[in-house]
Each structure stands twice: as structure tokens, then as C-alpha cells.
Structure 1
Amino acid sequence: MKKTSNTQRRTLNIEWSADGFCRETPTEEYRNNKTPPKYDLEDRLLDFAVNIVELTESLPNTRSENHIAGQLLRCGTSPLSNHGEVEAAESRKDFLHKLRICLKELRETKRWLRLVGRLEKLGQPANLAVCSAEIEELIRIFAASVRTAAKKRERISRFSSLASSVGRWTSDVCLPAF
């Protein structure tokens, strides 16, 4: 019989709730040893929305700039709230749908930012370069997330259809006919 050493190992305090979900309550030691998380996507979207608001506030108060600012403000801040909807999705299909909405809004924002960059009378607004760089990264992040979620959903649906067809086959073969 192989003996194990009596060393203390770091473990998580895991608590299972009545609804079957795992609730983690990490110890202070575990929290201190854990590497800090990378920049949270929600924080990035929040910072991006703030930059969009500041950019739209810096645009001149003319008829065309008000229209552009309004469109940019709506589509540039909506990924933040839509990401909250993604986190509260009711199904895998709903999750994927809401991720795609975020991606569509980000792509629309990119178009409006390009328009602002091309308008010569505006010059180069202060936050335009920051917003343009961040929108590219956010689009890549959300596009990769959509691809991953779609593949996962396809794999699961393929597996469930296979499992249901195997179940029908085994019930036809194994169960005696009455």
C-alpha cells in the first residue's frame, strides 16, 4: 500500500447548495496565492462606454454631428448592457444570440468611429484613437466568443441527437414486443 505524506495541501472551501450549484468560498490563503485575474471584459466594456460618451460630448453641436453623436452613443454604449444580458442568458441559444447582438453593435460602432475619423472639419477628437484601437480588440474578443459558443452548441446538439437516436435503437432491439 502506498503511503501519502502528511503535508497540508491548499484546498478550496466548496459548498454545494440545494439547487445543485457549487458555491466557492476561497480561504484567505488561497486568495493571497491566486494570481490576479486579467482585465475583466465587463470593465473593458465599461471603460469603452465611458470613452464613447466623452468622445460624443466633444463633438460640435451641429445637426450632422448631433446625429452622428446620437448613433455613436447608442451603439457604443449598448455592448456594456448587452453583455449583462449575455451573462443572464436563459439557454445556450439565447447566450449565443445575445453574444451576436454585442458583436453587431460593436461592428456598427466601428463604422461610426470611422466616419468621425474621416470628417475633416472635426480634426481628430481626443478619444478617437483610443476608441478605434479598443473597438478592434473587442470585436476580435466577441467574434472568437461567438465562434466558440457556436461550435460548443453544435457539438452538444450533435451529441444529444446521437444519444436520442441510440436510445431509440436500443429500446427497439432490447425491449421485447408485447
Structure 2
Amino acid sequence: MTDNQDIQERTLTFAVRVVKLCRFLHEKGGIERILSSQLIRSGTSIGANVREAQSGQSDRDFLHKMEIALKEARETEYWLIVLVESGGINENKVKSLTQEIDVIIRILVTITKNVKKKLRTPNP
């Protein structure tokens, strides 16, 4: 399995898990409902940008979309931390999501670094 296939599958599965978590948070009401709105936007946007990158018109276009996915992943990680640190949700309830977003971020960093390297290498 290539990194691109792996990241597509991971981000789709991650997005579904974020949707389920946000349903739970939405039902809690209060500040958790507001934070869930932020989390669902960024958490589902990662995979959408990864998918869009697969149809990139050039390596630069692909890189741009993957960098957006990386930014969204980092934002998602942030909202998960805010939810835990503010007491909105128990850390154990989101531990596997936190671990998965860390893996997704590492994969996206690797992909973007490799594309940047490819773009810097002159074609013979």
C-alpha cells in the first residue's frame, strides 16, 4: 500500500470517527457543542483535501492541497487538546483519536517533504 492510499483510508476512517464524537459532543450541549463545530470542520476537511490532492493538476497543486490537509490535521489536534484540557471530554475517550491524528500528521509531513524534495530536484 502506498502512502497516498494509506492516507486516504486513514483520513476517511478518522473523519467518520470525528463525526461520531461530534454527535456525542453536540448532545452534551454547552461549550462542547460549540467546540464540536470546530472539530468537525477541521477533522473532516483533512480527508477531503487529501482526496482533492489526488486530482491535482501538477505536483505543486498536489503539494498545496496536502499542505492544507496538514494544516487541518494540526488544527484538529488542537481542538482535541482543548476539549481534553478544558474538561469537555475525558482523555481516555479520545486517546485513540489523538494517537491517530499524530500518525496522520506524520504521514502528511513525510508526503509533503518528499514532494518538496522532488520539486527541488532538476529534471534531466
Report the TM-score, using the length of structure 1 for normalisation: 0.63
What is the aligned-residue identity percentage? Answer: 33
- Aligned partner (choices 81, 89, 99) of residue 133 of structure 1: 99
State how far apart, in whole Å, the 1-side matches of 2:40 and 2:72 are. Answer: 11
Bigger Rg, which one: 1
Which fold has the larger relative contact order, with Cα–Cα distance below 8 Å and residues 6 or more apart in sequence? 2
Contact 1:55/1:125 (CA < 8 Å) preserved in 2?
no
The yes-or-no answer on 1:70 pairing with 2:37 is yes
- Aligned partner (choices 52, 55, 69) of residue 88 of structure 1: 55
- Residue ranges of structure 1 left out of the alignment (5+ in a row): 1-36, 164-178
State the Cα deviation string for residues 29-69 of structure 1 (Å, max 9, x = none): xxxxxxxx47732221111001111111111111x222210
State the match for 1:155 in structure 2: 121
- Residue ranges of structure 2 left out of the alignment (5+ in a row): none
Q: Pairwise CA RMSD of aligned residues?
A: 1.8
More helix by share: 2
State how far apart, in whole Å, the 1-side matches of 2:58 and 2:47 are. Answer: 20
State the match for 2:8 in structure 1: 42
- Report deviation, 1:124: 3.9
Amino acid at match of 1:154: R
Contact 2:56/2:62 (CA < 8 Å) preserved in 1?
yes
State the match for 1:4 in structure 2: none
Report the TM-score, using the length of structure 2 for normalisation: 0.88
Summarize the Cα distance change of 1:133–1:121 in structure 2 as closer, same or farther, 3 Å threshold. closer
State how far apart, in whole Å, the 2-side matches of 1:86 and 1:115 are. Answer: 29
State the match for 1:28 in structure 2: none
Q: What is the correspondence of 1:23-62 to structure 2 with a 5 Å cutoff?
A: 37=1, 40-59=6-25, 60-62=28-30
Give 3-state SS (helix, strand or coil) of 2:121's partner: helix
State how far apart, in whole Å, the 1-side matches of 2:89 and 2:41 are. Answer: 20
- Report deviation, 1:121: 4.9
Summarize the Cα distance change of 1:148–1:118 in structure 2 as closer, same or farther, 3 Å threshold. same
Summarize the Cα distance change of 1:90–1:129 in structure 2 as closer, same or farther, 3 Å threshold. same
Aligned residues: 120
Contact 1:58/1:125 (CA < 8 Å) preserved in 2?
no
- Report deviation, 1:125: 6.6
